Amino acid sequence: MTEGGAQAGGTDQERGGAVRAFVIESRRAESDVITSFVLRPRDGRPPAPHVAGQHLTLFADIDGVGRQKRNYTISAAPNGETYRISVKREPEGRVSKWLHDDAREGTLMDIAPPAGAFVLPESGHRPLVLLSAGVGLTPMVAMLEAVVAEHRQLAIQFIHCTQNSTTHAFREHVRSLAAASGTDTTFFYSRAGGNDVAGRDFNSAGHLTPDWLTADTPITEAEYFLCGPPGFLRSFVPALAKAGVPADRLHYEFFGAVEDLFDDPLPDSPPAASPSATVLDRRSRASAGFTREAIGDALIDSAADAVVASDAEGAIVLWNPGAERIFGFTEEEALGSSLDIIIPEPFRARHWEGYRETVASGQSRYGAGDMLSVPGLTQDGRRISLEFTIALLRDEAGKVSGMVAVLRDITPRFEEMKALKKKMAATQNSPGA
């Protein structure tokens, strides 16, 4: 799939534990831009088990660049012997270009165990709609392979959007799986080429629309699984929710920065200033009574911003007056509760995936000082817009024991920005504009 949060400079701790060395057993071009790599454990033992739809974390040591970390979806159903990843070559993708240009059979890399909650329900008989765009079809291929291998009797629609046959990966493989499982396939080509024949290579020219999904898929009963670029998800996740698909039947895999798919993205935050001068100033003033403990207590006891700390399992261990003001939960209600109490349900799976990965690897996917924008949930069920920063808490051995976040409610500013955008759009579209 697409390259996940890049991080260089691995540690011995990162290499230990469950991270294992794998070797590229084979590679295969799936399209002009997507190549599959079959990975086998170097030690000869079976790989860690996975569920179709999950991803793995890959650590690659690249000459002249250093150690790089990426997340890639496993594009094959479990077989107890190997993993397969299918990677799109990104023009600016450091690791994807290395995999396409330099990685060969026998190339070694480290792999952390599979993770992720973007998986099919273990039981149930609802129809499934597997909806993807571009390289987002990789988890869908794994899911369809698993359905066939497990002989599950399900009504499935496999809908994939791509430019044309040169970018269309796994076309014949999906058709073969579809024939074995009774799956209905629909391929949309946005830029069909001269050699692409409707009815043979694809089903529909142009772009998929929400109206098509409403008319041609079982909105009232199906489980929907979506994976693709952010713009694709912004188009169809809110549209399906608006059409009446409840949150528990609407599943999506979103690689990249976590953001609210149901609202316009916020403008980029300005870069944070270097903290070095501030730190030195605070230390120089400590002898005059400005101790780090006193400053920390003042910030924590303030009701201006929320300060929330959680342990390695995600249970809340610190809840300050600012958190009570913003979210509405008292300290007694919040302490010991899961962070789920302030995370809207559609975003929980993605949150916990990143949280557990950070605890296991000891590294956050976000850089120091990054200001993150996410939706939040209050005690009375309102959705609010938040900006926050995070810091990792470590024990004496250096292992991540929890996290602390400083959060600010920016809902009024967010709503003002949305209103301004709508006003500007209306002005631009008005007669004579």
Using alpha carbons, select from 363, 349, 410 the residue that is nearest to residue 391: 363
pLDDT mean across residues, the chain: 84
For the residues 348-363, what does the mean pLDDT come to?
A: 83
313 three-class SS: coil
Q: What pLDDT, on the 0 to 100 scale, is given for residue 245?
A: 93
> Which position has the higher pLDDT, 221 or 372?
221
Using alpha carbons, select from 250, 228, 260 the residue that is nearest to residue 418: 260
Q: Residue 270 — pLDDT band, cuts 50, 70, 90?
A: very low
Pairing of strands 128-133, 223-227: parallel
Lowest-confidence pick of 2-11, 39-48, 107-116, 284-293: 2-11
Taken in order of first residue, the domains within the chain and their CATH numbers are 7-115 (2.40.30.10), 128-253 (3.40.50.80), 292-416 (3.30.450.20)
Residue that is written with structure tokens 């599959």 in the block: 36
Q: Residue 8 — pLDDT band, cuts 50, 70, 90?
A: very low
pTM above 0.75, yes or no: no
Using alpha carbons, select from 173, 202, 169 the residue that is nearest to residue 34: 169
Q: Residue 206 — pLDDT band, cuts 50, 70, 90?
A: very high
Q: Residue 170: is its pLDDT beyond 60?
A: yes
> Which position has the higher pLDDT, 2 or 346?
346
CB 117 within 8 A of CB 345: no
Q: How far apart are CA 59 and CA 79, in angstroms?
A: 22
Q: What is the DSSP string of 137-153?
A: GHHHHHHHHHHHHTT--
Q: Residue 346 — pLDDT band, cuts 50, 70, 90?
A: confident
Using alpha carbons, select from 87, 59, 90, 60 the residue that is nearest to residue 73: 87
Dihedral sign, CA of 320, 325, 327, 332? positive
